Structure 1
Amino acid sequence: MNAPHDEATLEPERTADAPDADGPCWRAAAHRVARVAVQHADEVDRAARFPVEAFDALRRERLLSAMVSPRFGGAGLPLADIAQICEILAHGCASTAMIYAMHQIQVACIQDHGAAVPWHQALLRELVEHQSLLASATSEETIGGNLRTSACAIELNGERLRIEKLAPTISYGAHADLILVTARRTAESTASDQALIVARCEDIELEKRGTWDSMGMRGTCSEGFRLVATGDAAQILPTPFAEIADQTMLPVSHTLWAAVWTGVAADALDRAKAFFRAQARTRPGAVSPAGIRLAEAAGLLQMMQARLAVALDAARAAHRARHAAPDADAPLSAALHFASDMNTLKTSISSTALLVVQEALMICGMAGYKNGTPYSVGRHLRDLHSAPLMINNDRIAQNTASLLLAQRNTGHGEA
Structure 2
Amino acid sequence: MSKRYNFDYPIIYMKKVLLIVCCCLVQYSSISQSKLTGKIIDTLTKQPIAGASIFLSHTSIGTVSDERGEFLIQHIPQGKFEIIVSSLNYQPYITTIQPAQESAILSIQMSPSSNILKEVIVESYDKDGWTKWGDYFKANFIGTSSIAANCTLINHHAVRFKFINKANTVRAFAHEKLIFENRALGYNIKYLLSKFEFDISAKTFKFLGYPLFEKMVPKNSAEQKKWESARLSTYKGSLMHFMRSLFSNQLTEEGFEVRVMKKVTDEEKNRVRELYKRMEKTSKSNGGNSKEKGELNLNKDSLEYFVKVMKLSSDDDKVILDKLIPRDNLIFPVDSSVEPNAVFFEFSDYLHITYLHKKEPYEYTKFLLKKPDKDYISSDITLPFQKGVPIYKNGNYSYGENIFVYGYWAWSEKLSTILPIDYKPDENNYQ
**TM-score with structure 1 length normalisation?**
0.25
Structure with the bigger percentage of helix: 1
**TM-score with structure 2 length normalisation?**
0.24
Q: Which has the larger radius of gyration?
A: 2
Structure with the bigger percentage of strand: 2
Structure with the larger RCO, 1 or 2 (CA within 8 Å, 6+ apart): 2
